Structure 1
Amino acid sequence: MTKAEPHPTVLSTLRTMSGPVRILLLGNLISNLAAFLNAFLVLFLTGRGFSAGESGVVLAAVMVGRISGSAVGGAVADRIGYRWVIVGSMAGTAVLTAAIVHVPNVWVGALVACGAGLTANAYRPAAMAWIVELTPKDQHVMVFSLLRLTFNVGSTVGPVGAALLLAYASYDTLFYVDATTSLAFGVVAFAALRPGREPVPAGKAADEGERPGYGRVLADRRFMLVVLGLFLTALAYIQSSAALPLFVKGTGHSAQVYAALLTVNGFIVIACEVLLSKWTQRLPIGVPMAAGMAMLGVGHLIYTGPTPVAMLVFGTAMWTFGEVVAAPSMMAYPGLVAPPALRARYIGAATVPQQVGYAAGPMIGTAGWHAWGSGVWVLTGGFALAGAVLVGAGAGLRRRSPAPAAAEPALASSADA
């Protein structure tokens, strides 16, 4: 009987990570450091004379584009290959983000913003699918934890850079810098992610008379249970920026308390997620997903009790640790269980409902707060707990075997960029 291989550590994962995966993680960091469009679009447009309503229309167009971008990106990536989708989406994002500065009216602005949102999200299924194919299965959770770290660091540091740009330059410069970073990522992807080292695209490998499509993804009932669970979890998670600030103010606390709660969340995620992934990667992948979603629900239910600052911090820490436990496995799961010919589509199919949840959640949370006060946390906590049940049923709490054709990636041909 041979001794079981030890699970990868953070350092061993970093040492053995292939060149293309390093580039994709670095590109994710760079693009998120300058992802200014969502945060500053309304302020830019109202400063240019657009009304609040017109600015809202343009921002909504960005959201529509982002939702559709994941589905479009997944389908195209499975047909033409990951590299070209990444390069094309980054180039398109650069052009359209720069064009926002010059839109003459709300309708052109909405069209350009929708396109920018679409291209900005279209690369994600391709990048995530490529990471899956270039990473050994026992490192998937850890690598996606590192991917999330690049996103969280970029999202945390980025606003500081934005403040400096606005202090010494202008909104125009802000969006030009955003466009430049997207273009830089696209150029690096074109130059360093050489097509000879990319897995054969599903569309080229599939029989020309029967290309795989989203219909086959929807037919995977267990996977669709997980997708529904991800949607409900997104409805709950987004309340940190919707119902939570209303709740904090409504219970007599200041905006500084809300800022402190967000700081607690950011610190725990950045400090703990990668380290905890060393242990969660050892579990059947459905376990950390379901457990984390349940912790998110419990954290929300804690808010229904007494509301001294200590309890608010406790509730926030609870749902944040739920995020830390669940999120890397949630990102790894679709690519892990997908057939190779549908990998990007599976990832796109899992991403779209989450984007819809993030878009619809604020409306549900704010309406729930105005209707029921702190009772909104029973609703959103229930969403997360229901998501945990669905994910447990779909992914299973015992190890689910990957799709039969999903063999270990051929790392020898992709070890260096």
Structure 2
Amino acid sequence: MSAETADRARAGELRFRDALRGLPRGVWIVSLGNLILQAGSFLPVFIVLYVTQRGHSAGAAGLVLGASGLGRVLGNVIGGYLTDTIGRRWAILLSVMVTSGLTASVPFLGPLPAIIAVVGLIGLVSQIYRPAMAAVLIDSVTSAQQRLAAFGVLRFAQNIGSTLGGVLGGVLASISYAGLFLVEAATLLLFGVIVAVLLRDAPQPRSDFGTAETRADPAVGYRQVLTDRTLVRFLLMTVFSMFAYIQTAVGLPLHVDDVGLSARDFGLLMGLNGLLVVLLELPITSVISRYRPEYVLAVANLLTCGGLALSGFTAGMSLLAATVVIWTFGEMAYSSIVQAHLANLTPPGMVGRYQGLYGAAYALGTGAGPVIGAAVYAIAPCVLWTLVGVLGLVCAQLSLRLRGPDAVADEPVSRPGDAPPGRTT
């Protein structure tokens, strides 16, 4: 490494540290609230066990999961619209308060259709806050470096909360499922109180390009938003990458069992993943802040999908652990930058809708991945792992085309409401 390159790297690291130290109050409020929320989020994990314990079949549990997954996709889309129209704070409050009441009702539901309907509605309403939360972070900062730092802190809080939630949920489920869901409802209320008391919608900041952000035009719908071809590429990249990543919970455990390892061994592999994420994701965010985000996303997708594809052709704990390290580094790099880069690509006044579509694409990929992945694995495991590897190449290619408006002068990003630009090669 040359002296000039080393100086530039040190300068980038110092800027990231300064950005962390200078994060405004709203970022810390939202991150603390998200930690609490994730620590008390049990229903998505334990609903299948609850439904089967009530005497329903595995097929019935699948219907409940399907309703929840469909609700999650729609909830992000609706949440994006509400974020841009009624405001970030009110969208969050609407989401958590209604979700709290619905979650508290789950233990008292009788017929299976009622459970399916309520859990599907929970899936929808519970996602409304996600684009609003992302918008709060984007509103609170004024530079790309701060934006990356803000999402890094949010992710760190989420990882800590999810780790605590897994332990706490297991303890509560062993005591009472009714208590489990009531604790989740209380956690949602606590998050709502934090938002109501401490959070206010920030004035729209000036962008990095010196122009003031404008309020969303309610007349601009998702059809106009989707004329932005850069956004469409971003959404396709998200669906494909999440389809591949979710095989960590579908194809990977099936492969671990097929090669003669135990559930305990799979737990150790996932524990390695969790440990690396908690310890290294924030430092990795500092490192990747020095590079162009589209390059980071391309490399991250190659590492994630390539590592997972290798795991499908690997046996033995040592080699599987090595592949876990590979795809975990890809996961950390991807998660650290993906929403922040989407904010770089977002036109004024459209933050909620762009983040909502990202959430819907995320939910679609993670929802379709288990169904399709399990079906393909049952036919031919090697086909699934080859597909994951190919998706990594496709996602890397899509990532390289996710350039912000400052990247090239001759390829402007189309704006919602504009006439669709001519087809490019």
Residues 1:103 and 1:400: Cα distance change in structure 2 (over 3 Å): farther
1:380 Cα deviation after fit? 1.2
1:26 aligns with 2:36: no
Matched ranges for 1:131-150 at <5 A: 131-135=137-141, 136-150=143-157
Give the CA deviation at 1:251. 1.4
Partner of 1:73: 79
Corresponding residue for residue 390 of structure 1: 398
> Which residue in the other structure is 1:100 paired with?
106
> 2 CA distance for matches of 1:8 and 1:217?
36
Amino acid at match of 2:181: F
Match of 2:173 in 1: 166
Residues 78 and 344 of structure 1 are in contact (CA less than 8 Å); yes or no, is this contact kept in structure 2?
yes
Encode CA deviations 1:200-229: one digit per residue, 9 max, x unaligned. Answer: 9x999356xx72221232111122112101
- How far off is 1:9 after superposition? 5.8
Deviation at 1:304, TM superposition (A): 4.6
Letter in 2 for 1:261: L
Give 2:226's aligned amino acid.
L
Q: What is the deviation of 1:157?
A: 1.4
Q: Name the SS for the 1:348 alignment partner.
A: helix
Q: Is structure 2 residue 319 aligned with structure 1 residue 311?
A: yes
Query: Which is further off, 302-311 or 171-180?
Result: 302-311
- Aligned pair partner of 1:38 in 44, 68, 82: 44
Distance 1:306 1:165, change over 3 A: closer
Q: Encode CA deviations 1:44-77: one digit per residue, 9 max, x unaligned.
A: 2232333333332222211111111110000111
**Structural RMSD (CA):** 2.6
Q: Secondary structure at the match of 2:110?
A: coil
Unaligned runs of 5+ in 1: 406-417
1:320 to 314, 328, 334: 328
Q: Secondary structure at the match of 1:118?
A: helix
Shift of 1:181: 0.7
Task: Pick closer, same or farther for the CA change 1:351–1:166 going to 2, 3 Å.
Answer: closer
Contact 1:82–1:127 (CA under 8 A) maintained in structure 2:
yes
Matched letter for residue 367 of structure 2: A
Q: 1:18 to 1:237 in 2, by over 3 A?
A: same
Whole-Å separation in 1 of the counterparts to 2:170 and 2:78: 33
Summarize the Cα distance change of 1:172–1:375 in structure 2 as closer, same or farther, 3 Å threshold: same
> Are residue 185 (structure 1) and residue 191 (structure 2) matched?
yes
Q: TM-score, normalized by length of structure 1? A: 0.89
Match of 2:237 in 1: 229
Q: 1:369 to 1:138 in 2, by over 3 A?
A: same
Partners of 2:98 and 2:16 lie apart in 1 by 34
Counterparts of 1:247-262 in structure 2, within 5 Å, are 247-262=255-270
2:164 to 157, 160, 165: 157
Report if the CA contact (8 A) 2:241-2:395 is conserved. yes
Distance in 2 (alpha carbons) for counterparts of 1:73 and 1:295: 31
| Letter of the structure 2 residue corresponding to residue 205 of structure 1 | R
Give per-residue Cα distances to partners, 1:284-323, cap 9 Å, x unaligned: 1111111100111221232254423221111111111111
Aligned residue runs from structure 1 range 233-248, under 5 A: 233-248=241-256
Question: C-alpha displacement at 1:184, in angstroms?
Answer: 1.0
Structure 2: stretches of 5+ with no match in the other structure: 1-6, 206-211, 416-425
Match of 2:132 among 126, 133, 141: 126
Map Cα deviations across residues 335-392 of structure 1 (whole Å, 9 max, x no partner).
2211121111011112211211101111222122222223421111211221111111
Percent identity of equivalent pairs: 32
The question of whether the paired residues in 1 share the 8 Å contact of 2:79 and 2:129 is answered with yes
SS at match of 2:234: helix
Give a deviation string over 1:86-112, Cα, whole Å, max 9, x none. 111010110111011111211221221
- In 2, Cα distance between equivalents of 1:233 and 1:174: 32
**Runs of 4+ displaced beyond 6 Å:** 400-405
Q: Is the 8 A contact 2:216 2:350 kept in 1?
A: no
| Counterparts of 1:98 and 1:336, CA distance in 2 | 39
Counterpart check, 1:56 vs 2:62: yes
Aligned-pair CA distance for 1:327: 1.4
Farther off after superposition, 343-352 or 143-152: 143-152
Residue 263 of structure 1, CA deviation:
1.2
Task: State whether residues 83 and 198 of structure 1, in contact with CA within 8 Å, keep that contact through their aligned partners in structure 2.
Answer: no
Q: 1:345-360 to 2 correspondence within 5 Å?
A: 345-360=353-368
Shift of 1:259: 1.3
Distance in 1, matches of 2:114 and 2:408, equals 48
Check if 1:205 corresponds to 2:212. Answer: no
Correspondence 1:250-399 to 2 at 5 A? 250-395=258-403, 399=407
Which amino acid in structure 1 is aligned with residue 35 of structure 2? L
Q: Compared with structure 1, are the counterparts of its residues 340 and 203 closer, same or farther at alpha carbon in structure 2 (3 Å cutoff)?
A: closer
Q: CA deviation at 1:237?
A: 0.1
SS of the aligned residue for 2:126 comes to: helix
Q: Secondary structure at the match of 1:307?
A: coil
